[in-house]
Copies of this chain bind each other. A is one copy, B any other.
Amino acid sequence: MSFSICILGSGAALPTGQRAPTAQYVECNNRHILIDCGEGTQLQLRKFGIKLQRISHILISHLHGDHFFGLPGLISSMHLLGRNRGLTIYGPTELQSLLLSFIEVGGHKLCFDIKFVVTESKSLETIFEDRLIEIQSFPLKHRIHTWGYRIAEKAKPFHLNAAAIAEFGLSLEDLPKLKSGINLEKNGKILQFEKFTFPPSPSLNYVYCSDTKPWTGYEKAIEHADLMYHEATFTDQHSDRAKQTYHSTAKQAATMAQKMKVKNLMIGHFSSRYDGSDQHLIEAKSIFERTICAEDGLWIDLEKMTHF
């Protein structure tokens, strides 16, 4: 089990030498997910040692260029490298035709299938789940339709109590039931699973709030998040500009984190007008101490980060 996040791009609309446009890679229990895909994402993946063919899900928040202009290039490279497994892309309704028109004009017939899923949830809705993870989308409040995403581990198996199992002489076949929290029946007697197990490790979740102004509409989605990424394009000095462009300041991101009791906050999408992110961090920390800044190439181990 593992839950890691790599920041591929932490910049805003205008890329700089230090910050590529928005993209993040999430590896959750061997599921490989890309969130947003600004121009140059395929190069960032390569730079940070991530195998692009592993990606099975791509979540696009909205159709401003700094969040999806890298998608045609990434898909083309997947094709050129001979991909044969499918890919699912979640995003606004126009994405499918835009993307395919860019690729098909070159005469390419993709050698793998893309399944497009239109994101249109009006509240926190599950868009994908399997045995180990669940992905949900929720609406943000930006100038155009924009969605956030929540990636969560499913409930984990109970840990086995080896000593108790040995003492009762339980067999190998009993263990899967115990791990799943199911009582055993032996010689007509019920054996409570709690006797042979310890509680499971906590299930973690990561919440991604792309471009948005602060809004009550996504509070439920971010509540108690183990880690929330929240855009913080501006510092307090430019709060008027933030309001006007439907973006957030670092303080607003921190206020949301505090209000909804998230455990850790990561801010990013810093406007290129600032030389660095020091001021953003100072302002956010003045409200919510457990804040870090997204930096291109930052790898976060969510298990280790939340294990204290």
Contacts and interface: CB of A to CB of B under 8 A. Distances in A.
A162 B163 CA distance: 106
A157 interface: no
Interface stretch (A63-71, A117-125, A188-196): A63-71
B98 A94 contact: no
Nearest to A40: B40
A112 to B, nearest CB: 16
B63 A14 contact: no
A69 B80 CA distance: 15
Interface in A175-216: none
Contacts of A94: 105
Interface stretch (A41-49, A235-243, A276-284): A41-49
B80 A73 contact: no
Number of copies: 2
Interface in A221-257: none
Contacts of A259: none
A39 B102 CA distance: 13
B39 A73 contact: yes
Contacts of A16: 46
Contacts of A77: 13-15
Contact of A65 (B73, B81, B143): B73
Contact of A15 (B43, B63, B65, B66): B43
A149 B84 CA distance: 37
Contact of A43 (B40, B63, B143): B40
A102 B40 contact: no
Interface string A99-129: 0011101110000000000000000000000
Contacts of A76: 13, 65-66, 69
A169 interface: no
A170 interface: no
B144 A107 contact: yes
A168 B98 CA distance: 70
A297 interface: no
A70 B13 CA distance: 14
A296 to B, nearest CB: 12
Interface of A: 13-17, 20-21, 39-40, 42-43, 46-47, 63-66, 69-70, 72-73, 76-77, 80-81, 94, 98, 101-103, 105-107, 143-144
3 tightest Cβ-Cβ pairs between the two chains A and B: A39-B73, A64-B106, A65-B76
Given A20-B43, A69-B73, 10 more contacts: A13-B77, A39-B42, A39-B43, A39-B73, A64-B106, A65-B76, A65-B102, A69-B72, A101-B101, A102-B102
